[in-house]
Amino acid sequence: MAIANDSRKTGAQTLAASVTAATSVTWTHTLGAALTNGILIVSAAQDASAGSTGVVWDDGATNAAMTQKGTVTQGTTRAELWYLKSPAVTGTKTIRVSWSGSHEGEGGSASYSGVDQATTFNAASPQTATGAASPTSLAITTTAGELAIDAMVQDLGTTGSAPTKGASQTYIAAGVNVNTTSIESGHSEQAASGATTTMTWTIASIGAWGQVGLSLLPASGTTAAVQQIAAHRPAPFKPSSSTLRGF
């Protein structure tokens, strides 16, 4: 079974021209009702190295807690990836990302079907990279048929524009805060075609950046095992002509 996108949603941010920093950020995401072998992925970026205290799906109702799978810190900024396998509640619900203090932050989300529920991630996931020159670059270990996902954050220092994804990537979310001391972030996906899938972002007003990524495994997950069994199966018995003459 191939991994298929169910829904992508640019999240929200806690700091804009007329909005102050906050202890959490929320946005709605629509999750398909027929999400077989599903997973919900959330990216969170904040101008705080302490990180998020938690992410929940269906905020105010089931408050299904999500699990962190990868984080990167660069200076006073941080990017994170969170997930929830087989979400029990579908439809349009609220995602909430919380922090221990008031911060500038942004988020994004995407849901998928066809993801292995037992061995969900490539064994090398998560992976990270940091730097200070554009473009960013993160080489994620993958196998053909997997889906690579990344989150990037950088400290603007000055007012900038939204980052631009690599040509082979698909946007999940890309935003920029307009204040002069804010952050910007990006979140994307890319189908894997080989042993490495490289995710990049081009940033006009470059500052110190961090990038974190993972790779999702498709639900089938049986091909390699079947091939291995076949490779070690004894050859079928073929009687020789002399054997046949003995009958």
Residue 190: predicted pLDDT:
97
Q: Which domain holds residue 108?
A: 4-218
SS (H, E, C) 3-35: CEEEEEEEEEECCECCECCEEEEEEEEEECCCC
Q: Is the pLDDT of residue 184 over 70?
A: yes
Lowest mean pLDDT of 59-63, 90-94, 229-233, name the range: 229-233
Q: Rounded mean pLDDT of the chain?
A: 83
In degrees and rounded to multiples of 5, residue 231 shows phi and psi of -65, -30
Distance from the Cα of residue 131 to its chain's centroid: 20
Residue 81 lies in a domain: yes
Residue 224 falls inside a structural domain: no
141 in any annotated domain: yes
Domain count, the chain: 1
Q: Is the pLDDT of residue 121 over 50?
A: yes
- pLDDT tens by residue, 134-158: 899 999 999 999 999 999 998 775 5
Asked whether residue 242 is domain-assigned, the answer is no
pLDDT at residue 10, as a whole number: 83
The pLDDT tens digits for 203-246 are 877 778 999 999 999 998 543 333 333 333 444 434 444 333 43
The rounded distance, in Å, linking the Cα atoms of 178 and 18 is: 10
pLDDT for residue 91 is more than 90 = yes
Q: Is the pLDDT of residue 185 over 50?
A: yes
Is 227 among the domain residues?
no
Residue 167 belongs to some domain of the structure: yes
Higher pLDDT, 80 or 183: 80
Q: What is the largest CA-CA distance in the chain?
A: 95
Supply the pLDDT for residue 230: 33
Q: pLDDT confidence of 102, banded at 50, 70, 90?
A: confident
Region 109-113: mean pLDDT is 96
In this predicted model, which residue has the larger pLDDT, 191 or 15? 191
- For residue 146, tell me if it sits in a domain: yes
Report yes or no on 235 lying in a domain: no
